[in-house]
Structure 1
Amino acid sequence: MIMRIRTRTALLGAATALLLVPAAFPATAQESDARLLGSYVVPHDLQVGGTPVGGLSSIDYDRRSGDFVFVSDDWSDYAPARYYRAEISVTERGIDDVDFTEVHQFRRPDGRTYPTIDTWRDEQHSVPRAARNVLGTVDPEELRVDPLTGAVAWTNEGQRNAAPDGSARGAVLLDPALRISTRDGRYVRDLPTAPNEKMTTGGSGPRVNETFEGLAYTRDGSRLLSALEGPLEQDGPSADAGHGAFSRITVHDRAGRPIAQYAYPVEPLFAAPQPPNDWNTNGISSLLAGDAPDRFLALERGYAAGVGTKGRIYEFSTAGADDVLNRESLAGGGFRPVRKELVADLDEIGLSHTDNVEGLSWGPRLASGERVLLVVSDNNFSPHQQTQLIAIAIR
């Protein structure tokens, strides 16, 4: 059954239902530009259709059905790779209720669900690389509803599987993928990706676990943008507390062909991990379309072991940025990156706790004229983390 979002005020018409942001960059991020409405924690033991609701890495609003969609980044360990649909009640008070109504398992071209990574490791050496990319395991990270067709586009981060001795020699590669599925999860096709976003045995190409985290359709559905979480190997080291990095955002046409690529400046990590050599990261975890073909929002999610997590939302524009699609490396500079401005630092809008935030979606417009921005966190299926929905009012 199709469920519709409940709000006190009507959603905008279909043509503008999701994609209004401020018309110009603010000179600075004003406190009044973003204010916390509230947050909602999904119960850790929630089950839908016999699957555990967790690992939610993206959120999007389906203006055809009126519900929201969430992808789980489960490697099919807890249940087959899947996405969920839910009804969310958003008012001026914040998030009153979240009701998960459907689960849809992703299917391979042969109709089977995706295997676990361990099963894939057992099978991979006998499967040609081209077939491996559509038959292998998946790590879904962002899902968007196509505004023109209602199909779902989603990302798979891929994998670089080392040889048994841990060396790169003999490694079997699973390229990051941009995939189209039907509303009920059936495979349609893979979209082309930029040549520099293919997995290699090391030294160039995407870093493992820093590939396709962001995905967004433009307002009119004529373009699709994908974002790498962090820099390519040849573009320099990943961001840490001492320096930022350049990730790459690729523009695809309706057929999926890459037509341009832009450098996005990722901020330095907010703090050094404790101890200093422990796990830390900062990069793009979600993209969201803005009010013009060249305007978008980016969620940067940082984690420092022993310190915690930070989420910062930026508005950026590709206007005036240089196309780096055919540029081998960004390490030497000499190009104009996208322009960006801070919209909200989640630590500074009144949240008592920020978990592993990974997804962005537009919500309804409030009676005040503000637009709701929804953020979701990935609990990594851990009882020590939260599946957190955050509602922010944006001027």
Structure 2
Amino acid sequence: MEHETSPQPEAISKGSAWEVLSVSTKLGLTSFGGPVAHLGFFREEYIKRRQWLDDRTYADLVALCQFLPAPASSQVGIGIGLIRAGFWGALAVWIGFTLPSVILMALFAFVLQGLDLTSAGWIHGLKIAALAIVAHALLGMGRSLAPDRQRASIAILAAIVILLWPSALNQIVVILAGGVIGLLLFKSKEVTKAEGLNISIRGRWAIMSLGLFFGLLLLLPLLRHLFPVQWLAMADTFYRVGSLVFGGGHVVLPLLEREVVALGWVSQEAFLAGYGAAQAIPGPLFTFAAYIGALVNGWSGALLATVAIFLPSFFLVIGALPFWDLLRRHPKIQGALNGINAAVVGILLAALYHPLWTNTVTSVADFALALISFGLIVFWKAPPWLVVILGGIGGSVIAVFTA
């Protein structure tokens, strides 16, 4: 098998917001499988195919977003859009990647609550296709970011630790430990100079963005107390959940349950129906907020809940990325990033096994479909969207013969 490496551009190129919107919308329609699968889809489309970033920059961005609260995969997408086309590019990525699942989740709230889509064969096939895409992404990232025995060992140890002690906090500990090990191992080695991201957001805007993040976090509960109206209560609830959640969409769902079911906004049964639907659609799981918002107050509620839960992601990425760009070009920080990037590979490797593999491959037929999907994308160079479609067809066929 030929060795596949990501592009190493001399400078990160710029593009238009319309270009970013077009590409991200395609991903929003086809990216099944949850947050880890999304990172695989992003690498395939943004890095390998379109060469907007190299693997090293991409891994640095993933590492930063693992530190931040809110949905990591959506933040990575926002960061890529910010690098590619400035603020409007960040907005375009979010709209394209998020809007399809927002519409679907709102429609579920209006029409489809009684349907059990999570047990459909084609949904299961889509998850198997996502598994193959993640495996392919890991193969490429491993070659680029863990090419020697030291970094490969960091990745393996990181995966073992995450699998034995799974938690969002432990992911941060593993990344920090990878940074310390990388600093010790690579402090005397020459590292390749990291290219600047050429971000159009300046320091004062970054500071203002972080100020808005913390300001709204403190102000919204006060306003909710002073003015007890439903739209303020919704804005406060979804903004607070979006600000304080580590670990991605699977963590935000139970946290939201404690908020919205206790308030009587939705019933336990309606919440669980939406939870199942959220697993069956492409795009970020945080769009479950649109489902709750639609149940509470129709389309306007869906829009308010969606904006409120994702707004912290914008503030955090815009506020953190310019400073992160300066840090990552420091020689000692680059040594630490060698270890951090290897740890990120290990975290994704652990996620490939659990929850993706353990929740998806449950039979010989599932494994066969996973192998076919992997072979199509690795050896036949099939585009991810085609692998997703064929995965859905394959899942339907398996369901027919195993019924």
- TM-score (ref. length: structure 2): 0.22
Asked which structure has the greater RCO (Cα within 8 Å, sep 6+), the reply is: 2
TM-score by length of 1: 0.22
Query: Which structure: larger Rg?
Result: 2
Which structure has the highest strand share of the two? 1
